[in-house]
Amino acid sequence: MRITSLALIISLFSVTASHAFAQATVEWRNVAEAIPLGTKVKVQTLDGKRVSGTLVRVDDRSLQVKRYARRPEAATVIAFDRISNIETDNGGGMTWTKALGIGLGAGAGAIFTIFVIALQLD
């Protein structure tokens, strides 16, 4: 009796897990299809691997990303059942370090300009 009930519980969890797994695959496909081809994306797999590149192709089972590399290499195919996250790569935008660098450069340029003007007045 215990073995039968244990087998029933395990089978219920496996059916529920496979249904949720299939649903997640469909959702990742819908997300990937909504992103225009040629967009820079970041894809993270379930095993923790990250792939950054340009979205080249989306089909029923996988997507294809052309990685950023110095040397030419084949595009990476990633199955939807291995994906844990997809996001577009906006290039980082303005960060504090960029703003600090711009501010320091502008300040140094202003000081240099004032110094040159002061030398011209003598």
User: Does domain 2-90 match CATH 2.30.30.100?
Assistant: yes
- Count of all residues that appear for the chain in the document: 122
pTM metric for this prediction: 0.57
- 53, 60, 28: which is closest to 38 by C-alpha? 53
| Average of per-residue pLDDT values in the chain | 81
**Which whole number is the average pLDDT over 29-48?**
89
Determine the average pLDDT of the residues in 100-122. 89
Q: Kindly report which listed range (66-70, 75-79, 92-96) carries the lowest average pLDDT score.
A: 92-96
**Predicted pLDDT at 9:** 58
HEC string of 42-106?
EEEECCCCEEEEEEEEECCCEEEEEECCCCCCCCEEEEHHHEEEEEECCCCCCCHHHHHHHHHHH
- Percent of the chain with pLDDT strictly greater than 90: 26
pLDDT in tens, 43-61: 999 898 999 899 999 998 8
pLDDT at residue 119, rounded to an integer: 87
The two structure tokens encoding residue 9: 């519980």
Q: pLDDT-derived band of residue 64, with 50, 70 and 90 as boundaries?
A: very high
DSSP 36: P
Give the model confidence (pLDDT) of 1-19 as tens digits.
Answer: 556 555 545 554 554 444 4
Place of tokens 């894809």: 43
CB atoms within 10 A of CB 25: 17
